[in-house]
A and B are shown apart, each in its own frame.
Chain A
Amino acid sequence: MRDAGTGPYRAIFAARFLMMLQYRAAALAGIATQFWFGGIMVMALSAFYTEGGGSASITRAEAITYIWLGQAFLGLLPWNVDPEIAVMMRTGNVAYERLRPVDTYFYWFARAMAWRTAATLLRAIPLLLVTSVVFDWVGLGAWSLQPPQSGTALALFLLSMVAVVLLSSALTTLLNISVVWTISGQGINVFTNSLVLILSGMVIPLPLFPDWAHLMLLLQPLAGLVDIPYRIYFAHLSGAEAIAGIALQIFWTMLFIGLGHLCMTRTMRRIQIQGG
């Protein structure tokens, strides 16, 4: 049941978002890491393009752009459990979560969204600026992030990124709910980590997988986290295809929200909170 108005959800989003922005040291470390990994991946891919025969379905410049976008928005990937929720489970403070007159699912959804977007905001801006503008200045133009294919592509890309935020928050919330059962969340992190990185296209852009796998890879839910928006960015998906891609993202998002809501209800009916 959802009361009228989104006040409480907006409030928890804003509070968490502002709290996350305080972790500047973590953001700096993150930026350094992302440059490092991005650099390695870009160089490895380039080597394949130079040395490998045959034709790839995206160009070298596009693949490099794909990698940099991926590093910039890495924080949006739903690859781990919110440590705040894990602590809450361990200490039993989750009891207070149930004392709030709000739908606990959407309450956690808002919290997850704040967590993901705040962490990303701090990293994405410097990373995008450096790889698109600074790289050109210092003569690294061949390794730089290319601008979007067109104004329309940019607009559709931004729309698709909004869908990424929602899809990622839905998946993160689902992971958070699972902590009720496992308490620690460590095991889930190990498992989801590699699954999300590979199936989203973060490690190897999905268009570079063998042809026979393309359709399957595009339709699975995790493509909506990286592959779909980035292909829209350089108009690999355009027009009706781009719209279909975004629709697919929204479809998976709705599905995971529904599933998460169901899981939350069931979980909370069986929850045991021990101790004073």
Chain B
Amino acid sequence: MPQIAVQDLSKTYRVAERRRGLIGAGRGLFSRTHRAVEALKGVSFALDRGELVGIIGPNGAGKSTLIKILCGILMPSSGHCEVDGLVPWDQRIRHVARIGVVFGQRTQLWWDLPVIDSFELLRDIYRVPEVSFRATAETLISLLRIDQLLHRPVRQLSLGQRMRCDIAAALLHSPSILFLDEPTIGLDANSKLALRDFIKHLNRHNGVTVILATHDMQDIGALAERVLIIGHGRILRDGSIAAMRADTPGQRRLVIDFSEDVGDITVEGATVLSRTGRRVAFAFDSRVTAAHTLIGRLTADHDIAELSIEEPTIEELIADFYASHGAVEA
């Protein structure tokens, strides 16, 4: 049985619209027009215990709405969902005791309190027994390397430090599912790598199910075996990045540094993408023209100093996918 079962989930927000100008504002006092915004339109999927799934999609696609419904914060307009046998919004108190949530753009720590005080407050709020709290906190503190930060008020921490403390805070009650909404936003390269390692560790060694919503494709590439792509409130694709790469046309890029000036070079089977000095980038479809054929044709007429063949990056892959599905935010 899946740990998370989502069936035909929809959420429509009712948004009040303001009319323009002074007269409009005056009329708005008496009658308001509302606009229905469909954030989710029939989302279904199932997730097994111990999975690490990425949720991606352009801004406004419905990622956050989906996560908030799964967390029990929002009620859907229709559809059904069960997490560990509980309906999140109906059995909220029992449900939220079993999940951990990190919103990258917010903090759940008390701004003016030292980090350790926030941890102890969370221990009491989640009714974590002292013994297990001490063990869990000790592990988290050493894994996330936050022992030096514990006695500093949260407002004095850098973003990277705060995020590590926030992740620890979300795990103090040993949840079986961890929701991460843009956990690496604004972090420097080292912090991102460290955080990814930690998330991987948590998933592999502790069997925590991780649901990761992000815009950072490196996060996805490094962590998620399975990716849900959401656009316009629907799931556009559910699978791995590798599978996606396999069934997108074999777009490759051949970058060549010629040893001489080649002018307006053209070659059969590829189009010129860019030209800077003696470096020329070609785009080709590896299923139509094999790379060695292309290189053969080019070396027949010119001397080549260096060459490289590149696959599209995850970013490019996803951007193409969004564009081809009309999922780019209006």
Q: Give A residues with C-beta under 8 Å from B.
A: 1, 3, 5, 7-8, 10-12, 15, 19, 22, 91-93, 95-96, 98-103, 269-276
Whether A272 and B13, one on each chain, are in contact in the complex, defined by CB atoms closer than 8 angstroms, is yes
Query: Shortest beta-carbon distance, A111 to chain B, in Å?
Result: 12
Q: List 18 A-B contacts (CB under 8 A).
A: A3-B127, A8-B125, A8-B126, A12-B125, A15-B113, A15-B117, A22-B112, A95-B73, A96-B108, A99-B73, A99-B96, A101-B93, A101-B97, A101-B126, A273-B68, A274-B13, A275-B64, A276-B103
> In the complex, what residues of B have CB within 8 A of residue A273's CB?
68, 73-74
Nearest Cβ on chain B to A122's Cβ, whole angstroms: 17
| Set of chain B residues within 8 Å of A276, measured between Cβ atoms | 64, 103-105, 181-182, 185
Q: Flag B71-89 by CB within 8 Å of A: 1 or 0 each.
A: 1111100000000000001
Contact assessment for B68 and A102 in the assembled complex, using a CB-CB cutoff below 8 Å: no
Determine whether the beta carbon of B93 is less than 8 Å from that of A103. Answer: yes
Q: Mark interface residues in B94-130 (1 if CB within 8 Å of A CB, else 0).
A: 1011010101111010101100010001001111000
Closest CB of chain A to B297's CB: distance in Å?
A: 49
Residues of B within 8 A of A274 (CB): 13, 64
Q: B64 contacts A99, CB within 8 Å? A: no
- Say yes or no: A102 contacts B93, CB within 8 Å: yes
Q: Which residue of A lies closest to B120 (CB)?
A: A11
Min CB distance A10 to B, Å, is 8
Determine whether the beta carbon of A19 is less than 8 Å from that of B108: no
Assuming the contacts A11-B125, A19-B113, asked whether A99 and B93 have C-beta atoms less than 8 A apart, the reply is no
Number of interface residues of B (CB under 8 A): 33
| Chain B, 2-23, CB within 8 A of any chain A CB | 13
- Are B106 and A92 in contact, with the CB atoms below 8 A? yes
Q: Which residue of A lies closest to B110 (CB)?
A: A15
Given A272-B74, A276-B103: A1 in contact with B93 (beta carbons within 8 A): yes
Q: Which residues on the B side are within 8 Å of A93 (C-beta)?
A: 106
B152 CB within 8 Å of chain A = no
Check A101 against B68 for contact (C-beta < 8 Å): no
| In contact, B103 and A102 (Cβ under 8 angstroms) | no
Which one of A8, A95, A269 contacts B106 once the chains associate, using CB atoms below 8 Å? A95
Determine whether the beta carbon of A11 is less than 8 Å from that of B105. Answer: no
When distances are taken between beta carbons in the complex, the residues of chain A under 8 Å from B93 are 1, 3, 101-103
Known: A15-B110, A91-B106, A102-B93. 20 other contacts (CB 8 A): A3-B93, A7-B127, A11-B121, A11-B124, A12-B125, A19-B110, A93-B106, A98-B73, A98-B96, A99-B72, A99-B99, A99-B101, A101-B93, A269-B75, A269-B89, A270-B75, A275-B105, A276-B64, A276-B103, A276-B185
Which of these, A3, A19, A91, contacts B112 with CB under 8 Å?
A19
A8 to B96, CA, bound (A): 14
Decide: A12 and B121 in contact? CB cutoff 8 A. yes
Is B27 engaged at the interface, CB distance under 8 Å to the other chain? no
User: Which B residue's beta carbon lies closest to that of A269?
Assistant: B75
Query: Bound complex: CA of A92 vs CA of B112, how far in Å?
Result: 19
B258 to chain A, nearest CB (A): 47
Q: Which residue of A lies closest to B117 (CB)?
A: A15
Instruction: Give the docked Cα–Cα distance between A7 and B121 (Å).
Output: 10
Mask: chain B, 182-203; 1 = CB below 8 Å from A; 0 = not? 1001000000000000000000
